[in-house]
A and B are shown apart, each in its own frame.
Chain A
């Protein structure tokens, strides 16, 4: 069993930056475009994912000694589906307007490669506290990506943030269209790659 040797803070940072779900690993991409046409939707999606990721890691870590390795995949799926159902129903009850727009994608958190992957490679092998830290880091990393993408898309596409108009004049409509989502993620990814290369070059010099 590969126990982690990293401290909790390192685990959180790892999920936020060096293994960022969207920009570095490039998995769980569907919502990164689907729900990021407004900051509010991106924010709610991010919060839901933090909740599901932390709770799944916590649960899987708690029951790790009882899981038969042969049937671990169905067990993980059931754990994830359970928590997704909880967030799905709570959102349908308390955040109706947002849920109407992003409900389908909330339900589809169940098929997120990132959540499943953390249960498979981390939580099932590690103790409770590191697992929670890992889940928190991964969740926050995803949340940050959502917020950054939706920030740019809403600001450029509607001239507004959180539904409040900020910039006057003609907005860049394409940014809130489907195509704009792809452009925004592609450009941001390229930007972060460029930043990484710069930082690495500075360290080497």
Chain B
């Protein structure tokens, strides 16, 4: 197994191609739940877990069922079905096995099914034809990136509550501007992997 590539995948998915700041996915959730730190953390944990599991599950279905049957054109319908079923069963299992955890994270699960960020992971995995492990690494990296974005945003917005903002910009508009500033900072990550590769190559030389 190529750990180097896996590491690069995780870094690339979480920092360089951060879902929120460079691919603009999951924005509804990003702006919706980033008001309080506590909800942001709960959401991040739930999202990362669901992303890794759904990436693995849809990879298996895609490679072993859809490709042999030549029905890859149905991928949108199949993936959304898989995710809906997965979320529903996670909901039921959690309620039974760990009611306290369900009490904390259950409400976030319900929001996940119709979220583009969760659906994007299997779609990108299928498009890039990653292997099983790579798909899971990509899911993990994307989840971590999303978590990072949410936590940063939540910590800023808790301060914004008490700031003096012009009336028309209160609420959503100022959050967008803040997100823009963070996105600007995230463009700084864009050279990271090439740098890393260069250093690896120079060591070989």
Name the interface residues of B151-197: CB closer than 8 Å to any CB of A: 166-169, 172-177, 179-181, 183-184, 186-187
B63 CB–A CB distance under 8 Å = no
* B140-151 contact mask (Cβ, 8 Å, vs A): 1 or 0: 000000000000
Residues of A within 8 A of B166 (CB): 190
The A-B contact count (CB < 8 A) is: 125
Say whether, besides A81-B77, A85-B77, A30 and B26 are in contact (CB < 8 Å). Answer: yes
- 12 residue pairs from A and B, CB less than 8 Å apart: A30-B24, A31-B24, A74-B81, A78-B77, A110-B80, A113-B28, A178-B21, A183-B177, A186-B174, A187-B177, A190-B168, A197-B167
**B118 to A, closest residue via Cβ:** A111
A29 CB–B CB distance under 8 Å = yes
Distance of A120 from chain B, by nearest CB (Å): 10
Distance of A98 from chain B, by nearest CB (Å): 17
Say whether, besides A74-B84, A81-B76, A85-B73, A179 and B181 are in contact (CB < 8 Å). Answer: yes
Distance of B190 from chain A, by nearest CB (Å): 10
Residues of A within 8 A of B180 (CB): 179-183, 186
A197 touches B119 (CB 8 A): no
A108 touches B183 (CB 8 A): no
Distance of A91 from chain B, by nearest CB (Å): 13
B124 touches A186 (CB 8 A): no
A186: contacting residue among B23, B28, B176, B184, CB under 8 A: B176
A166 CB–B CB distance under 8 Å = no
B116 CB–A CB distance under 8 Å = yes
B169: contacting residue among A178, A179, A183, A190, CB under 8 A: A190
Residues of chain A touching chain B, judged by Cβ–Cβ distance below 8 Å, are 26-34, 73-74, 77-78, 81-82, 84-85, 88-89, 104, 107-108, 110-113, 116, 174, 177-183, 185-187, 189-191, 193-194, 197
B169 touches A113 (CB 8 A): no
B173 touches A107 (CB 8 A): no
B24: contacting residue among A34, A73, A82, A111, CB under 8 A: A34
Residues of B within 8 A of A180 (CB): 180
Residues of A within 8 A of B179 (CB): 182, 186
Looking at chain B, what size class is its interface with the partner chain? 35 or more
Residues of B within 8 A of A107 (CB): 76, 119, 123
A108 touches B25 (CB 8 A): yes
Say whether, besides A179-B187, A189-B176, A104 and B120 are in contact (CB < 8 Å). Answer: yes
Cα of A96 to Cα of B53 in the assembled complex, Å? 33
Residues of B within 8 A of A193 (CB): 167-169, 173
**A29 to B, closest residue via Cβ:** B27
B31 CB–A CB distance under 8 Å = yes
B74 CB–A CB distance under 8 Å = yes
B114 CB–A CB distance under 8 Å = yes
A179 touches B176 (CB 8 A): no
Distance of B51 from chain A, by nearest CB (Å): 14
Cα of A116 to Cα of B123 in the assembled complex, Å? 20
Cα of A183 to Cα of B28 in the assembled complex, Å? 16
A182 touches B177 (CB 8 A): yes
Cα of A81 to Cα of B77 in the assembled complex, Å? 5
B8 CB–A CB distance under 8 Å = no
B168: contacting residue among A84, A113, A191, CB under 8 A: A191
**B123 to A, closest residue via Cβ:** A107
B115 touches A189 (CB 8 A): no
Question: Which of the listed residues B22, B81, B172 has the most CB atoms from chain A within 10 Å of its own CB?
Answer: B172
- By Cβ-Cβ distance, the 6 closest A-B pairs, closest first, are A186-B176, A182-B180, A194-B168, A190-B173, A29-B27, A193-B168
Cα of A84 to Cα of B31 in the assembled complex, Å? 25
Say whether, besides A110-B80, A182-B176, A30 and B27 are in contact (CB < 8 Å). Answer: yes
